[in-house]
A and B are shown apart, each in its own frame.
Chain A
Amino acid sequence: MLERLTRKPRELVAALELPADATPAQRFQRLQQITAATIGLGAILLASMAYLLHPWLQQLPPLVGLGEAPVSAVLVGLLLLTTHALASLLLLRASSRIREQDEDTSTEHRDGLLQSLSASADLDQALQEQLQLAVSDSESSTVTVIGRVQQLNTSASKLLDYLQHSDTNASDMASDIREGVDEMNKIAGFVEQLPDKIRQNNQTVESIFSEIKHLEGLAGSIKLISKQTNMLSINAAIEAARAGEAGRGFAVVAAEVRSLANRAAEAADTIESGLEHALTSVKQSLSESDLANASHELEQANQVADAFEKLQHSYEDMRQFYKTLFTVVTRHNTELAEQIADMLGLLQYQDVESQRITRIKDTLMRRQALCAEITQLGAQVEAQADEPLDAALLPQLSVSLQQLLEEYLEAESRHRHPDHGSADAEVDTGPRIELF
């Protein structure tokens, strides 16, 4: 009988069970429904009992010696008490069931939250590792770029040194060539005057030649005079011999005159022979000086001098071109050096970004530590089971995360570059370059 009475309410309670993911509002609403149902059920039960027991109530007062009203009051009171007890029992069981469901749900939520925190900590760890890797990679790339830029600058400097060295060598060479051309011009000038000098020399030689010819005539005259003198001395000797003793002294004079005439003839022969030899030499000298050939060689020498002069002009042109080239390369090299210096300055962005990533990494590390701490506290709360999760941990987590956010934003604002603009007008970043 009792089982039959309680089976329906149990089924009713079972029907009123909520799904595991029901919200607290849904659970409260369902509890109100159950309360209303049990009160309604109690009222129906009370009315039914009063109706069924009415005949018995009319017979009972005489048996207990009381009036009909007190007996009815006692009976209604008992029935009311019974129905309320039953309703309370049903309500108690329903609320107990809901609380069990809530506890199950709460446990699931806590486990889920702790798992989420643990996963978040793992994610933070993974992000930190990736950020560290990004910093290392960018640092490595920046070092490589700096190395390459240094090589570029070294190459540019070497090129400039080479050009400077070449310019110096070219200057020396130009000086040598200029000196060579001057020497050649002097030689050319000398060679140019040479035909006139040769002509003058030839005229001198021809004059000497005619003088010698003239002397040769004189030698012939001396020879003739000596011959006549010799004849005269012979005649004198004959006449002296005829004169006998008186002509003996005259014969001696005639002999001396004859001897002188012979010596004069010998001297004239010697002079004639010497003049003949001199004439032969002068003739030979005149025949060797070939003025036609000399003129050709002189022309060639002049052509060489012209070629040297042209070479000098060509070299001056080349040197001017070289000088212009050197000036242009030097200017470009200077610009290149300035651009390299600027580019090296821009590589400071790596440090700026590296510091920004480091701040993010530090914040992630702190959030990871926070999640680990909350997870540990969650395990302790679960062990103690004396305090609900939301009351113990969630407010603490919320406060800590808010504090972490504020600290991170404050650190970022302290490192904001003025070129990036300021989202917060109150943050004073100051000028980019300031001299005190």
Chain B
Amino acid sequence: MSKTILVVDDAATMVMSLKSSLEIAGFKVETANDGVQAMDKLKGGVKPDLIITDINMPNMGGIEFIGKARALPGMRFVPILALTTESQQAKRDEAKKLGATGWLLKPTSGGDLVKVIKQVLPGA
């Protein structure tokens, strides 16, 4: 059974390209345009095996979303990867503190992304 990945990004092109490349790699993909939508999906019953989130987003940014998502029941051990243009070390440290699993800078090729996913999601 294919694993489900939740992609959170405010850029339509990012969501589309990630969805396509992950589906080609055999994953099932759910999408959200910001942290608020992503939280609604998680509370609404979507159970992702992994989350990929942008950091700078309107309404609710990635850092805040990581903290809130981690507090939800059943989300404690779900890997969360930040995929962003934000390269400030302080932000990385903050995300790490709140429970992020990894930090990837845009652009990351489909091959590299799948490699990282297989590292943090055994059996994928």
Contact = CB atoms under 8 A, between A and B. Distances in A.
Interface of A: 139, 142-143, 146, 149-150, 153, 337-338, 340-352, 354-355, 414-418, 428-430, 432-436
Given A341-B111, A354-B11, A433-B103, 11 more contacts: A143-B16, A146-B13, A146-B17, A340-B20, A348-B13, A355-B56, A414-B86, A414-B91, A432-B104, A433-B104, A433-B116
B116 A435 contact: yes
Given A430-B103, A436-B100, A341 B87 contact: no
B85 A345 contact: no
B113 interface: yes
A435 B104 CA distance: 8
Contacts of B92: 430, 434
A345 B110 contact: yes
B107 interface: yes
B94 to A, nearest CB: 12
A435 B108 CA distance: 14
B46 interface: no
B102 to A, nearest CB: 4
A433 B25 contact: no
Given A414-B86, A435-B119, A341 B21 contact: yes
A351 B21 contact: no
Contact of B85 (A146, A149, A337, A352): A352
Contacts, number: 124
B102 A345 contact: no
Contact of B17 (A344, A354, A414, A433): A344
B12 A433 contact: no
B87 A429 contact: yes
Contact of A348 (B25, B87, B89, B108): B108
A340 B102 contact: no
A150 B21 contact: no
Contacts of A436: 96, 100-103
A413 to B, nearest CB: 8
Contacts of B91: 414
| Most-contacted residue by chain A among B24, B96, B112 (CB, 10 A) | B24
B112 to A, nearest CB: 7
A345 B105 CA distance: 12
8 contacts: A149-B20, A150-B20, A153-B20, A344-B18, A347-B107, A351-B106, A433-B108, A434-B92
B102 A342 contact: no
Given A341-B25, A414-B87, A348 B107 contact: yes
A171 B109 CA distance: 39
Interface in B1-44: 9, 11-14, 16-18, 20-21, 24-25
B111 A338 contact: yes
B124 interface: no
B75 interface: no
A340 B96 contact: no
A217 B21 CA distance: 101
A383 to B, nearest CB: 41
B101 A435 contact: yes
A149 B24 CA distance: 11
B103 A434 contact: yes
A348 B14 CA distance: 6
Nearest to B102: A435
A351 B102 contact: no
Interface in B74-91: 85-89, 91
Given A146-B17, A153-B24, A351-B14, A341 B105 contact: no
A416 B86 CA distance: 8
Nearest to A417: B105
B17 A347 contact: yes
A359 to B, nearest CB: 10
A418 B103 contact: no
A142 B102 CA distance: 27
A414 B105 contact: no
B60 interface: no
| Most-contacted residue by chain B among A338, A345, A347, A417 (CB, 10 A) | A345
B13 A433 contact: no
| Most-contacted residue by chain B among A146, A340, A417 (CB, 10 A) | A146
Contacts of A349: 106-107
A434 to B, nearest CB: 5
| Most-contacted residue by chain A among B16, B18, B87, B91 (CB, 10 A) | B87
B86 A344 contact: no
B101 A414 contact: no
